[in-house]
Amino acid sequence: MHAPILVIESLRHAGPTGATLFDGLDLTIARGEWVTLLGGVGAGKTTLLRLIAEQGWSKVSARLVAPPRPSLPWQGCAQRLAQPLRSGGLPRAEAEMRVRQALARVGLAEQADTLPSALSEGASARLALAAAMLSGAGLLLLDGLADAGLAAALLEWRRESGVAVLCAVRDAMPAAGLGDRVAVLAGGRIVQQGLAQALFDTPADARVARLMGPCTLLPGRLLDGEDEDGFATMVLDGGTRLLGRAPAVQVGERCLAYVRPGRVVVASGAAGDFGEGALPARVLERRALGDVVALRLALADGTDLLAHRPAGGAALPAPGAQAVVLLPPQDVVILPEAGLVGRAPRAT
């Protein structure tokens, strides 16, 4: 790991209304690292990016990726990008060459003479990235990714230039897979950070679980600690016992069984035929989504549960039919109940 270029320790900051927005936030970014800042609406992602850009906390120049400021109204994209380079003393020919290269990299070579005001939203985002590339900044601050093409261009340029990236997003997929590390912002702090797959497999709490993508959270209480196979036992509020991994829950505590839709097994029949841990359910929705079939099921206590099963696989019960849900212990993570926010899932 390279030396850090940004170190934020115990940041406290109040929003415009005076309410606490950040309460002890810690974040470190190394030279050349891409960190995906994941948070829900109102978590403070945009504010954090602006503070980093404005407060001079970074050891290298930090640039908030935004469209270049308006100048002369008749200037096209290339002229507008070249202006700060020329103002900095770069000869015209070299400035024009760098601008052409930057526009080509972000897919705007054919729009060099287009007025920035005439660009689409996606093209404006690409122009903003081209301007950031030309700025010489060592840390780019992105408030979202407009499209996959923009992400690909940035990834390639980042590998060549060694620039660091802090990219704020609301949706983990597919943005989380682009970077070196994901940092989840919730409740005024970074509540968990690490590789995207690690956060997907073992989130710290329900907030992280939901930000990492569709999932089901079933409430209950931890009954027994880990057995010789490494599985703990919880009892759901409906009375069914489940096995799963419980890295941060104590016996007797309220907890949540967390499972991703792709790990849920759905079958026809009666729960009694499948042994302990089988959950009776009724199919509410069934939709084909490419390679998978998405199902939304209602458990006996009314709790909704999502399942994704391979298309063309075993026959699945139709909407309105009774079904059995099986949650393999190795795919169940038992989380602390803190951070639970009620929300009914849909078959997506």
Q: Which has the closest alpha carbon to 185: 208, 166, 202, 213?
A: 208
Cα separation, 12 vs 25, in Å, equals 7
Which segments of the chain belong to CATH 2.40.50.140?
Answer: 216-336
CATH number corresponding to 216-336: 2.40.50.140
- The per-residue pLDDT for range 262-317, each reduced to its tens digit, is 999 999 888 778 877 889 999 999 999 889 999 999 998 888 999 999 988 778 99
Which segments of the chain belong to CATH 3.40.50.300?
Answer: 4-201
CATH topology of domain 4-201: Rossmann fold (3.40.50)
Position 149 confidence tier, pLDDT thresholds 50, 70, 90: confident
- The per-residue pLDDT for range 215-270, each reduced to its tens digit, is 999 999 999 998 999 999 999 998 889 999 998 899 999 999 999 999 999 998 88
Position 48 confidence tier, pLDDT thresholds 50, 70, 90: very high
Position 68 confidence tier, pLDDT thresholds 50, 70, 90: low
Q: Kindly compute the dihedral angle of the four CA atoms of residues 155, 156, 161, 165, in this order, to the nearest 10 degrees.
A: -10
- Average pLDDT of span 92-98: 95
Q: Is the pTM of this model over 0.95?
A: no
pLDDT for residue 189 is more than 70: yes
Cα separation, 42 vs 22, in Å, equals 11
Cα separation, 57 vs 325, in Å, equals 51
- Classify burial at 30, counting beta carbons within 10 Å of its beta carbon; exposed 0-12, middle 13-18, buried 19 or more: middle
- Average pLDDT of span 82-99: 94
* 115 contacts 70 by C-beta, under 8 angstroms: no
Ranges 2-16, 87-101, 107-121, 169-183: which has the least confidence: 169-183
pLDDT for residue 103 is more than 90: yes
The DSSP bridge partners found for residue 181 are: 35
Between 221 and 72, whose confidence is greater? 221
